[in-house]
Structure 1
Amino acid sequence: MEKNIKPFGMKDKLGYMFGDLGNCFSFALASVFFMKFYTDVMGVSPAAVGLMMLVAKVVDAFTDIGMGQIVDRTPPTKDGKFLPWIKRIAGPVALASFMLYPSYFKYMSMGFKLAWMYGTYILWGSITYTAINIPYGSMASAISENPDHRTHLSTWRTIGSQLGNFIIAVVGPMFVYYQDQAGHEVLSGTKMAYFALACSILGIIAYIFCFKLTTERVKIPKSNEKFSFIGTFKVMFSSRALIGLILASLFYLLAVMAVGGMNSYLYPNYFRNVKAMSFVGTTQMVITLIMATIVPKLSAKFGKKEVTVFGLLLSAASFFAAYFLQLEDVKVFVFLVILYQIGITFQGITSWAMIIDVIDDLEVSKSRRDDGAIYGAFSFSRKLGQAAASGLTGFLLTMINYSPETKFDPQVTAGIYNISTLLPAVTILLAAIVYLVIYPLNRDKVYENAEFLHNKRLNK
């Protein structure tokens, strides 16, 4: 670390927060509304949307890891190794996100709509979003080498994510839904397109703040390793820590994305209460802000792995309770959702610091550092969880006979409730089990690795 560079501080935390806020203006938007838009506005079956998302993740297997390799092999500039990518890709990812919601094409042929859906989703998720998210996530290791600083960055990243989620999940439903003549809450395609445009503009602004406020201090040199997908996968599968984090994150994301995606069906269709959907978006924001002051302290005292397992078990228990109680009172259901939100926030805050712990562990054990490639592999696992959630919920919605015509039928809404509760309960429990059984980086091991690498860099 160079002496003339300003020390780590609040500007870095805010800058890193704005980065994930920018991500959320496209990512959270797609998570909450993309499937709902294509099923209810464009008339595409849930199974077809889910299949498309699974196909897109096959592409992501190459683009995520490929982007990581590109980032590792790019020499640093005066702005650093990772920050320049934020400036380069901010505009393209915002434009690609807006193109996901073409309400003006809803009367086109089904073949045209499917082609547009595949093309724009892959352009957004597999190319532009990957090109900005991989360097953004990898950047945490260059901002500071201190494990506690990285936990703070992970915390502020989560705050940025929740600010974005608040706008999408709270403001969004109030703007994009309207009541039809039967009193049902219905998604407006035109309003959805305008909302997507506003989110794209806000996303560019957030990325600009990320670029301006964040400083890279740890000089990570250009990698001279041969560009190899196979080599990256070999490194991935040689690390128990990385395997554990990837599996746990896959199950965690499957749960979180299932909850986010199904909320667009659960509250309007089962509870017939869009306001409750906005309310749980607000509670998640409030809970995250509160937990942001608590989780870093608990993580420093007990360890990131340890507090994460506790939170996951609490979240799983809340949804198992909701499933077995078969609730019709939305207030009681929201109470259990709040317990879920408290528990899941532990993982949300710690996970971004945990991937840097894994990268450190790989450098200690393998004597090589591939921040971009390893983060790319981690990002792919997260996208796989996201796609699995979309694909699985899409197929399950088709199995319960969901369509624009049947979406308020009692047997369909009952199926929506069961998917919305049992699927996340099981997958969150699986994530906790993976951390307990496979992931080895407890508190003592993390600090031991950090001290080893600090001494290694001092002696260079």
Structure 2
Amino acid sequence: MAKEKTQSGLTMKHKIGYACGDLGGCMTFALMGAIVTRYYTNVLQVNTVVLATMLLVWNVWDAVNDPLMGALMDKVFAKKHSKKGKFRPWLLRSAPCVAISFIIFWTVPTYFKGVTMLVVLFFCKILYEGFYTMFNIPMGSMLSAMADTDGERASLSSARGFGSMIGNIIPMMIMPQLLAKFGDTSKAFAIGGTICAAIGFVFCMLHYAWTEERHVTDAPSEGSDSVKFTDILNVFRVNRPFLALCIHGICICTMQYVGSTLGTYMYGDVLGNIGMMSLASAVGMPLGIVALIVVPKIADKFGLERTIRTCLIISSVLYFVLFGAMMVLPVPAVVYMLVSALAMGFASVSIYMQWGLVGEAIDYNEMITGKRTEGSIYGTFNLTRRIGQTVGNSAAVLALGWIGYQAGAATQTAGTLTGIKVLVVLVPAIFVLGSWIAFRFVWNITPDVRAKMAAFKASKEAPAAAAEE
């Protein structure tokens, strides 16, 4: 039986350190959204057809490398069992690699032309994504190694939410200013990429310095030497909480990306006030901050899963009511903005707090399988989120053609406007409801099951306590 040492109590330093992880990671990853497309097309002048093909391959790689990296970390630890920890060594290895590969991505391809440039660009992106995954998987998995209770999981999830929010804002303040000063030039992107990589590296190292694996195993547990890459297939079969999380990951990310992809069409074509989108963002951020502050306290009292489930059903109801109203009434843009922001705010609670439930699913998996495979579980959960993101983004674009949207037309047909309402309001309502169903009918960690998990954990800790006396 493994000997396990547990440090009691999360400190403020732990929480700030955990927040620094997503802040540091997002400092680079945030620029891989809308900004990077300008780099591809305006600086490197990549043909759009070629770019679409490369994006498809990159997306497949992004999806596959998450569970593979997680399984690799589990397997390496089961074999070598480093006393330095299961995840922190990977953080130390990957943080400088993320920064260096990110700078390379924004600089090296600009020195080449034609097919050579495309080959260099392709492998630079593959390199960065691989190192980013090498950092992101242990960073996310650290939550389960640091938290014991719903309150601790909620606190760390909230901290991660704050870090993510700040890490996404800073790059989007830096890069637009550089583009305004230097234009769409290789110099602007190189400077911006280097600055964001440097800032991100500092926060990634703070994450390493200010966090600790509170559950440190000194010797392999029973069965740990048999950790296999295929273990995750058995997890899907026996671990209902993990299955619920995967369903939720696909549903919530599909909802998110359908809404974000088509939001401009709702405000511009249906409501006739595209400028209201800026106000919607201004309203949404305070709601997110309030949620990150309040929800951990509520979760500590009522339970994390129950809190998330309640927020999801409220969000779904708000979306359904909003859709019904828009089908029979001319809803003003400001009313739509307020109600949709509120609905998204409640749904976002599940996004901010889902990491705590991943930790509980990991604990449950250890109880029923005898193996603690945080990396595989976290990595595969990330895979389901990638699937939702890809489906939401791609399906939304295809659906515009299905509903007859005419680009550049002064007005759209009544059928097209109805189609936009369905896609932007009804579809999110259905997918948020899907997440609620996953937690209501698939998730099976009840108070009785939680008591069994606590007893299992106590039985593991008892030999360690006896050995120390």
Q: TM-score range by the shorter chain?
A: 0.7 to 0.9
Runs of 5+ in structure 2 lacking a partner? 465-469
Q: For residue 309 of structure 1, what is the amino acid of its counterpart?
A: R
Q: Is the 8 A contact 1:318 1:336 kept in 2?
A: yes
Q: Does residue 162 of the first structure (1) align with residue 157 of the second (2)?
A: no
Q: Distance in 1 between matches of 2:332 and 2:350?
A: 28
CA separation in 1, counterparts of 2:342 and 2:426?
15
Cα pair 1:20 1:157 within 8 Å, conserved: yes
Give the counterpart letter for 2:287 in structure 1: I
Residue of structure 1 equivalent to 2:242: 242
Q: Which of 154, 165, 182 lines up with 1:151 in the alignment?
A: 154
- The match for 1:19 among 9, 21, 24 is 21
Other-structure match for 1:310:
310
SS in 2 for 1:225: helix
**Aligned match of 2:378:** 375
Residues 334-363 of structure 1, C-alpha deviation per residue, up to 9 Å, x if partnerless?
212320232023202321110111111111
1:50 and 1:392 in contact (8 A); partners too: no
User: 2:127 is matched with which residue: 112, 123, 129?
Assistant: 123
Q: Distance in 1 between matches of 2:212 and 2:459?
A: 22
Asked if 1:301 is matched to 2:301, the reply is yes
CA deviation profile, 1:242-286 (whole Å, cap 9, x unmatched): 111111111112222344455577778988988755544444432
Cα-to-partner distance string for 1:62-121 (whole Å, 9 max, x where unaligned): 42222112222234656532122222212332444456668986x976x78876775454
Q: Distance in 2 between matches of 1:50 and 1:148?
A: 44
Which secondary structure state, in structure 1, belongs to the residue aligned with residue 398 of structure 2?
helix
Partner Cα separation in structure 2 for residue 219 and residue 66 of structure 1: 23
Matching residue of 2:441: 437
Aligned 8 A contact 1:147 1:450 in 2: no
RMSD across aligned C-alpha pairs, in angstroms?
Answer: 4.2
Separation (CA, whole Å) in 2 of partners of 1:271 and 1:173: 31
Following the alignment from structure 1 to structure 2, what is the Cα–Cα distance between the partners of residues 401 and 331? 26
Following the alignment from structure 1 to structure 2, what is the Cα–Cα distance between the partners of residues 113 and 392? 31
* 1:423–1:99 distance in 2 versus 1, CA, 3 Å: farther
Larger CA deviation: 275-284 vs 406-415: 406-415
Q: In the alignment, is the contact (CA less than 8 A) between 2:280 and 2:338 conserved in 1?
A: no
Q: Could you tell me which residue of structure 2 aligns to residue 457 of structure 1?
A: 461
Letter in 2 for 1:243: L
| Structure 2 equivalent of residue 181 of structure 1 | none
For the 8 Å contact 1:312–1:431, the answer to whether it is kept is: yes
Could you tell which deviates more after superposition, 240-249 or 226-235? 226-235
Matched, 1:216 2:219: no
Contact 2:154/2:295, CA 8 A, preserved across alignment? no
1:352-393 residue CA offsets vs partner (Å, 9 max, x unmatched): 110111111111122221111222221222222222223323
323-332 or 12-21, which deviates more? 323-332
Residue number in structure 2 paired with 1:336: 339
Structure 1: gaps spanning 5 or more residues:
179-186
Instruction: Report what 2:85 is aligned to.
Output: 80
Change beyond 3 A, Cα 1:378–1:358 = same
Mapped to 2, the partners of 1:309 and 1:252 lie a distance apart of: 12
In structure 1, give the amino acid aligned to 2:463: N
Aligned equivalent of 2:467: none
**Alignment match, 1:183:** none
Q: 1:257 to 1:160 in 2, by over 3 A?
A: farther
Name the counterpart of 1:182: none
Alignment of 1:335-414 (within 5 A): 335-396=338-399, 406=407, 410-411=411-412
How far apart are 1:135 and its partner, in Å?
A: 0.8
Partner Cα separation in structure 2 for residue 396 and residue 356 of structure 1: 36
Give % identity: 26
After TM superposition, give the deviation of residue 301 of structure 1 in Å.
Answer: 2.7
Deviation at 1:420, TM superposition (A): 4.0
Tell me whether 317-326 or 329-338 shows the greater mean CA deviation: 317-326
Look up the SS of the partner of 1:368 in the other structure. Answer: coil
**Displacement of 1:222:** 5.7
- Alignment partner, residue 233 of structure 1: 233
- What is the distance in 2 between the residues matched to 1:243 and 1:27? 27
Contact persistence 1:50–1:393 (CA under 8 A): no
Question: Does structure 2 retain, via aligned residues, the 8 Å contact 1:68–1:376?
Answer: yes
Judge conservation of contact 2:21–2:139 (CA < 8 Å) in 1. Answer: yes
Structure 2: how far apart are the matches of 1:278 and 1:79?
A: 47
Which amino acid in the other structure matches residue 309 of structure 2? Answer: V
Partner of 1:200: 197
Secondary structure of the residue aligned to 1:459 is helix
For the residues of structure 1 that align with 2:158 and 2:309, how far apart are their CA atoms? 17
The one-letter code matched in structure 2 to 1:161 is: S
1:103-150 CA-partner distances (Å, limit 9, x unpaired): 986x976x788767754544333x122111111111122224344222
Instruction: Kindly indicate whether the alpha-carbon contact (under 8 Å) linking 1:53 and 1:390 is maintained by their aligned counterparts in 2.
Output: no
Q: Which has the larger radius of gyration?
A: 2
Q: Aligned residue pairs: how many?
A: 445
* Cα shift at 1:188: 5.7
- d(CA) in 2 for partners of 1:393 and 1:100? 29
Instruction: Determine if contact 1:49/1:391 at 8 Å carries over to the other structure.
Output: no
TM-score, normalising length from structure 1?
0.79
Q: Which moved more, 1:84-93 or 1:324-333?
A: 324-333
Paired residues of 2:317 and 2:429 also in contact (CA < 8 A): yes
Whether contact under 8 Å (2:157, 2:353) holds in the other structure is yes
* CA distance, structure 2, for counterparts of residue 215 and residue 38 of structure 1: 39
Map 1:258-269 → 2, pairs under 5 A: 258-262=258-262
TM-score, normalised to structure 2's length? 0.78
1:229 partner SS: coil
Partner of 1:8: 10
Give SS of 1:250's match: helix
